[in-house]
Each structure stands twice: as C-alpha cells, then as structure tokens.
Amino acid sequence: MSDAPTGPGPTTTTPATPASPEGGPRLRIAPSPTGDPHVGTAYMALFNRAYARQQGGSFVLRVEDTDRARFDPTSEQQLYDTLGWLGLTWDEGPDVGGPHAPYRQSERLDTYRPYVEKLLADGNAYHCWCSPQRLAEMRERQQKLKQPTGYDRTCLGKTREERAQEPGFQETPVVRMRIPDDAPTSFEDLIRGTVSAPRPDDQVILKTDGFPTYHLAVVVDDHEMGITHVVRGEEWISSTPKHVLLHRWLGLTPPVFAHMPLLRDTDRSKISKRRNPAARLTWFREEGYLPEAVVNFLALLAYPPAKNAEGEDVEQFTFDEFVERFDWRLVNTVGPVFDMKKLDWLNGQWIRDLELKDLTARLLPVLVKDGILTDNPTLGQLGRLQDVAALIQTRIARLTEASALVAPFYDADDALVVDEEARAKLSPDAPAVLDAAIAALEPLQEPPSFDEPGPQHFVAAAIEAALRAAIVDGMGIKPKLAFGPLRVAVSGQRISPPLFESMEILGKHSTLARLRRLRATYEGSPAEG
C-alpha cells in the first residue's frame, strides 16, 4: 500500500540515537507478499539488520498480508529465499517463530479488534458506509474543483439508519480515523531531524472484509512486538503523523522513526518492477550476481564508502565491516540512483576475490541451468571446471557470463559450433597459420601424471613457445594477429579464455582435432596427421 509523495524535508539537525532498551533495540521489516519481492525490501532489511546487530538487538520479519486482493501465495516463500540468499536473516518471523507469534497479519485479526473498538468508543474513529462508487465520484469532483483530495466526512456523526437514507450507501462499513483540526504534522526522524508532513485525512483503518489497513496494523503490531525503531522508505513520511496519532489515542509509546531515501532509476523516478527488471530482487540471482556484492552495493546507495589508512575510498566491504562502522548520522538522504555499471564493477571485484573452489561451486548451478553440465557431473568434469574457472575469473563481471566461455571446454570436438562471423573475419593466411600450428604442436607429448612437465610436453608454456616460433618467428606474423585462427578453432569464438592455457586444459588430442576441423573448411590440402 502506498501513500502520496512526501511533503517538505528535514528542518533541523538529526537527533542523537536514543538509548537502547534492555536486550537491545528491536527492528523489523514488514513486506507485503504481492508479487516478486522488491529490491527495496532487501535495502531496508540491510539497514535494519545492521543496526540491530551492531547494538545487540533483534531483527524481525513480519508479513503484512492484509491486502487480500493483491496477495500472492508464492511471494512469501520468495521473500524467505531471496533474503536468505543475501544473508539478511532474521531472529523472529513466520518461518522461524518467536515470542510474538503469529508474524502474519492475516493470523492476527483478533488482535486488532479491541484497538478498533477503543478508537470508536473514544470518538477517535467512526463508521463509514460510503460505497466505492460514491468515493470515486467525490474524488473526481474534488480534482475538477482543484480541491484537496480526502474524505468529506459524509458519514461522520450519523447512524447506519440515517446514512442508509442517503445515496451512495453500502451495507458493510469501514472504520475511519477522525483526524482533529490540530493534528500534529511534524515528528522527529532519526535520519532527517524534524520532519514536516502534509495534514492527513480521515484514513480507513478497518476494511469491509474485517482486515485492518496498513496504518492500524503497523501501529498495533509494532507495539505488540516491542519494536523500538521503525526504519522504512521516505514514501511513508506522509503517513507518519497518522501513526503518531494512533499511538497517542491508544496510549502507546511511539517507536523511533527513520525514513530512508528511496532507490531511484536513472531518470530519478522511484525504481519500479514495471520499468526496471533490477527492481525484482530475484533478478540479481538470475543474472549471476553474488549476494555479497548485492549487499555491498545496496549499502553504498545510501551510505558512504569506508576509508583506508591513506584516506582513500574503499567501496568494497563485507556486511560485518558495514555493521562495525554503521552510524545513522552518515545515511545520505538524497535518493540514490541505481547504477548498474557500478554493480557490475563491484560484482567483478567480489568474483576475483573468491577462492577458486568457491568460484567453481558458484558457477556449477549456472552451468547446469544453461545445459553445459548435468546435475551430477563427473569428477573429471569438476576438475576441468576448476581449471577453466581459474582462466575466466578475471574476465567476468557476472556468473552468467561464464557459460559462453566455459561451454567450449565441454563440447565434443566434432560438435563445437564455430561462429561464422568470427570465421569470416579471419585473415586470408588462416589456413597456413593452422597448418603451421598443427605441425608445431604434434611433436609435443602429453604431460606426465606425477612428474613436473618439461619443454617437450603439452603444457601452456611449451605450447606458447612452439606456436610463437612457428607462426610469429617462422611466418613473420605480428603476435596480435598470429593466433586469431587458433582461437576460433579451439573455442569457436573470437573472444575466449587465454589461448595457450585453454589448449592445455583441452589436451593435445582435442586441440589438434579442432585445429584440423577448422582447417578442413578451407580449400586446399589440410595438414596431415
């Protein structure tokens, strides 16, 4: 559920962080399962969890599923899966339980009713029987007259019987807040200081289906679950005066509010799942990003980089390092732009820092998904993958970029697809180069299983030496152009992992078979062998 955009920004300095209660602060995220999880959910989870961990507090996941029209039963599991993949785990929630269960609002309906009854009894809320059609006509009229939009209090002070005599009546009422004329519109924000928001209207707090709206449920649940800090997006600034009022009317102590800047697209608009696939949290895993990099990136969107001993920015850091230096006063309130180039760069840095075995393990599901390997690869295939991973580790920014580079190492020699465009761009001397390469490599021997290989064995150093002698020195071809035909023959592509190391991994038999196969596509006598 979304409120209107915020009003004016902060007007004073940021208040100091309040002292934590015994047991540390309690923070939460409360996503709605209405589709693919939004990247903003992870963004909020990161900052909530970081502060909770730093202060020795608790981090709670609550599912706000009162919007039954948009409820998606698969969305909740996606929340668990994606946040768990990012390492943004929680101490209490629907799946792990906790002392304040249940953690789904749909299972807490009996909890809200007494609060509604108190608001009605105290005159701070009233029943409204206006039909959706009547409300739509009201809003249309207000807009035409350029009046502020909001409920016109047609039902205020009327009984059901009285209201039933008027047009636009529906049998089952909602319950609305009765906003006083002197309702406070300013509040203290942990990040922004004193914040002013627009005057609220008579917000619906209980719907016709008996489910509370966000505004009532969030206040009641935060109180019942002992939440001390409410950290959420700035789109909720306009709703905060309503929540402050509800706390006051119900005799509850309000939490500390902190409103984070919204994630923004390159056009400065709020990042949306309809316009940007990166707004879907599941997209990052699908596209081959590392969870460490995504968390790192999300932190940088609203928080400055670390500094090294020389005072230089250090943009790559772990979640634990982020927690150690976290300070609400450093949160940037300017809406951060979602820079995919920055994310790709950062992901590449994280890939380069992985241990080789770790990189291999992370590549495996991607390669299985792309059909390059089966679910149960052999030990030989896994061993080859680790060798290949070492070649491509510095050449990929996403795990998904590995598939095109890895595939040729698992293709049968007679099934390797040679890119026709790549072949067409080879120089006219390609057949002669292939002939020279075959002749140079044939004398090399397969390396021994246990002893150190020598200059006569089929290993990268010896392969390079033999090919340079035959093609660069022997044919006088510049090194930049000498090996293009060999690269296309071995990988099927113009761009590939390092050539000589690739040949070593493929072995002498496969390498020569691929060279001869490409050579056979040209007129003239191919090299014998």
| pLDDT (tens place) for every residue of the chain, 529 residues total | 333 333 333 333 333 344 445 679 999 999 998 888 999 999 999 999 999 999 999 999 999 987 878 888 889 999 999 999 999 999 999 999 999 999 999 999 999 999 999 999 999 999 999 999 999 999 999 999 999 889 999 999 999 999 999 999 999 999 999 999 999 899 999 999 999 999 899 999 999 999 999 999 999 999 999 999 999 999 999 999 999 999 999 999 999 999 999 888 877 777 777 777 888 899 999 999 999 999 999 999 999 999 898 989 999 999 999 999 999 999 999 878 888 999 999 999 999 999 999 999 999 999 999 999 999 999 999 999 999 999 999 999 999 999 999 999 999 999 999 999 999 999 999 999 999 999 999 999 988 877 777 788 999 999 999 999 999 999 999 988 899 999 999 999 999 999 999 999 999 999 999 999 999 999 875 554 4
Question: Cα–Cα distance between 234 and 34 in angstroms, integer?
Answer: 20
Domains of the chain: residue spans and CATH: 1-124+178-353 (3.40.50.620), 355-410 (1.10.8.70), 420-519 (1.10.10.350)
Q: pTM (2 decimals)?
A: 0.88
DSSP 472: I
**Measured torsion, CA atoms of residues 72, 73, 75, 81, in degrees rounded to the nearest 10:** 180
3-state secondary structure of 466: helix
| C-beta separation of 409 from 388 below 8 A | yes
478 is catalytic: no
Least Cα distance to 488 among 429, 425, 439 occurs for 425
| C-beta separation of 319 from 51 below 8 A | no
Least Cα distance to 418 among 353, 484, 371 occurs for 484
**Burial label, 85 (beta-carbon count in 10 A; 0-12, 13-18, 19+):** middle
Which of 118, 158, 273, 342 is an active site residue? 273
| C-beta separation of 519 from 441 below 8 A | no
**Burial label, 412 (beta-carbon count in 10 A; 0-12, 13-18, 19+):** exposed
Q: What is the 3-state secondary structure (H, E, C) of 396-437?
A: CCCHHHHHHHHHHHCCCCCCCCCCHHHHHCCCCCHHHHHHHH
